[in-house]
Amino acid sequence: MRCPKCLLCLSALLTLLGLKVYIEWASQPRLSKAYPGPQGSPPGPTPASLEPTLPANLSARLGLTGLLPLASWNQQQWRLETLPSADSTEAGGCQAWGAAAAAEIPDFASYPEDLRHFLLSAACRSFPRWLPAGSGGQVASCSASDVPYLLLAVKSEPGRFAERQAVRETWGRPAPGIRLLFLLGSPVGQGGPDLGPLVAWESHRYSDLLLWDFFDVPFNQTLKDLLLMDWVGRHCPDVAFVLHAQDDAFVRIPALLEHLRGLPPAWARGLYLGEVFTQAKPLRKPGGPFYVPGSFFEGDYPAYASGGGYVIAGRLAPWLLQAAARVAPFPFNDVYTGLCVRALGLVPRAHPDFHTAWPADRTAEPCAVRDLLLVRPLSPQDSIRLWKHLQDPQLQC
């Protein structure tokens, strides 16, 4: 007579256990959606994320959910609608925005000097072109009959004449569907020699220098990106792809073109390609070039392609400008590009043949490089030597 009761109890226990498992399973996705947390990178691309979008509220996309950190950038981004568009030379507008943002940072005076200068003027993004005297040296717009497939946008500094010439003589030399431009700030530096006459001669000679009237310092690399995107939108809107690279990079253009032309059209339209970092964090050790104070930014970085070299679809230029107007300034241009791309609902695509931190003790031998797409840093001499070896039809590996 006791067995039926045992079976009844066992059945009840199994029913309760199954109900508990079901409740936990059903509640798990709801919890993950309600509290996604600011850590880590967004998931991989889906068909819905191949086209850029820019929602009215960027907080969720940029990871600003849950308890908001007190750090300056996080607070600014939370309440930011759009950055001021005033000219950089005006006393108000962007400069007033920077001063107000700095005033909210309690330990701002302890920040490194270059970081303080950046934050005070980070919202100033409208700078005139620096044009050499005379009529020569103007950078022509892309003509309707000669739209480049790939625009090579190479970041340089006024005094790096040898690096620019090495690019011109090697991977950046004229080729069908390719156009080369160098991005520079003012050649009239702070406390240094006036390189204006030399840069003016170079501009007249090659007509490939896009120069703007701002100090060419590391934290102004973002200005080159944004001003280039503005130039592309105005003067070369139909370019298929833009390669952003440093002047110490070496790029195998034929291999890169082959890769780009083989991409699925849906991927190509929203492309952001390079050596991708998905779990990068701010460096908190003072004194380093990538130091980020905890009072300025909290959280992990978004997934981003290394600024040493990456490719972006040309059609994204106006989209990136729109996103940048609504993403709070950040001192590192590649991280900032990652933030803007994330704001658009896109993600970077990693390629194993982008090497933006080539070891100094590893010689760039032709056989080690010939199957890669981009390598840096290389000296001008090494780039020219490598180029000559790779052009040799007798090269055997």
Pair 97, 183 in one domain: no
Q: Which residues contact 342 (CB under 8 A, 6 or more apart)?
A: 42, 61, 62, 302, 303
Q: What is the pLDDT of residues 215-255, one digit of tens each?
A: 999 999 999 999 999 999 999 999 999 999 999 999 999 99
Pair 99, 241 in one domain: no
Instruction: Pick the last residue of a domain from 318, 334, 352.
Output: 352
- pLDDT the model gives residue 85: 77
Find the mean pLDDT for residues 328-340. 98
In a domain, 384, yes or no: no
Pair 217, 304 in one domain: yes
In a domain, 155, yes or no: yes
In a domain, 175, yes or no: yes
In this structure, are residues 197 and 134 in contact, taking their beta carbons and an 8 Å threshold? Answer: no
Pair 338, 229 in one domain: yes
pLDDT at 359 over 60: yes
pLDDT at 169 over 90: yes
In a domain, 13, yes or no: no
In a domain, 38, yes or no: no
Pair 111, 214 in one domain: no
Q: What is the CATH number of the domain that holds 303?
A: 3.90.550
If you average pLDDT over every residue of the chain, what do you get?
86
Q: What is the pLDDT of residues 256-284, one digit of tens each?
A: 999 999 999 999 999 999 999 999 999 99
CA 287 to chain centre: 23
Find the mean pLDDT for residues 307-330. 97
In a domain, 163, yes or no: yes
Per mean pLDDT, which of 39-48, 298-307, 385-394 is the most reliable?
A: 298-307
Q: What is the pLDDT of residues 10-31, one digit of tens each?
A: 454 444 444 343 333 333 332 2
pLDDT at 128 over 60: yes
Judged by DSSP in three states, 4 sits in helix
Pair 337, 261 in one domain: yes
Pair 105, 164 in one domain: no
Tell if the pTM clears 0.75, that is, is over it.
yes
**Is residue 317 within a helix (H) or strand (E), and if so which, with residue range?**
helix 317-324
Pair 169, 226 in one domain: yes
- pLDDT the model gives residue 135: 57
| Strand 150-155 to 241-246 pairing | parallel
Number of domain units in the chain: 2
Find the mean pLDDT for residues 157-170. 97
- pLDDT above 70 coverage of the chain, percent: 84
Beta bridge partners of 164: none
Pair 193, 111 in one domain: no
In a domain, 385, yes or no: no
In a domain, 39, yes or no: no
Residue 211 is part of which domain span?
Answer: 150-352
Pair 56, 177 in one domain: no
- The better pLDDT of the pair 233, 49 is held by 233
pLDDT at 340 over 70: yes
Pair 198, 304 in one domain: yes
Pair 223, 304 in one domain: yes
